[in-house]
Amino acid sequence: GGSGAGGGAGGGSSQGGAAGSGSGSGAPGGGGKPPPDPRFPHASLHALHRLAMDPSKITSPGAHVDELCICIPDVYPKSVHHGLVVARERGLDTPSELTPSHLPLLSHMRRVAMRWIWQVAQGHTGSGDGAELVFRLGFHAVPSMRQLHLHAIGTDLRGANMKRKDHFMSFATPYFMPLDQVEAQLREQGRVAVDAAAANQLLKGPIVCHRCGAAGDPGGKKAGFSFPQLQAHLATCRAQYPGGDAVGVPDSEPKL
């Protein structure tokens, strides 16, 4: 039991959690269970698809809906602020299915994500070190929920549902593909190359702080932190995420 690298609405394992009903039709006006898909074998893993196809099922206050995408908070947040921008195109589930024709969609999803970041910052009342208001935009290489979804996630990685090693590794390693990188691959190569086996191995590597590079006790027998050690470290780490894909809060509300 319990969620995987994030939870889908209605339970089950997932790297992103849907804000809405965990049951219902797979398309507007349709009934029954979602079609079989070996990549997404459980009904809960279709929750984002159901919301994208029928936004009337969204229960999150302040959700964004337009013809191209929806934007909702992840209900199993891995950082203090963790949002999802979900494409509404039927049949578009993973980054590897993107083509250069999707570049305008990705640009729109970026604008929606940046507006969400601006909106959550207006209500931010935390007393943290600032990492929760420095964000990354990107996709999981091997998403475990159906329907392409862009993560907008704070670099603190100390959300209420950051509970396991694989949760952390899915955002702190190249398993997390920055939006900039995905767009560049589409422009330069015409596709997004994903080696699923190699990506999944990244989840099993040593735990290293994504902010300062600390990797546990230098004299220890095993490289990397244990997950409880990482949590204790992140509670006191004051380094800022050094990656070039970091984005801050816009000065004014972005226009769509």
The CATH number of the domain holding residue 48 is: 3.30.428.10
Question: What DSSP line would sit under 96-138, residue for residue?
Answer: GG--GGGHHHHHHHHHHHHHHHHHHHHT----S-SGGGSEEEE
The domain in which residue 92 lies consists of 43-205
Mean pLDDT over 137-147 rounds to 96
Mean pLDDT over 203-213 rounds to 97
Mean pLDDT over 208-234 rounds to 88
What region, left, alpha or beta, does residue 29 occupy, with left being phi > 0 and alpha being psi -120 to 50 degrees? left
Whether 149 is a known active-site residue: answer yes
Is residue 38 assigned to a domain? no
Output the six-digit token pair for 22. Answer: 């965990």
Is residue 14 assigned to a domain? no
Please state which of the ranges 16-20, 159-163, 192-196 shows the lowest mean pLDDT: 16-20
Domain count, the chain: 1
Nearest of 67, 64, 74 to residue 18 by alpha carbon: 74
Catalytic residue among 81, 102, 140, 149: 149
Is residue 115 assigned to a domain? yes
At 222, the amino acid letter reads K
User: What pTM does this model have?
Assistant: 0.85
Is residue 251 assigned to a domain? no
Is residue 119 assigned to a domain? yes
Is residue 4 assigned to a domain? no
Is residue 30 assigned to a domain? no
Is residue 212 assigned to a domain? no
Of 171 and 11, more confident:
171
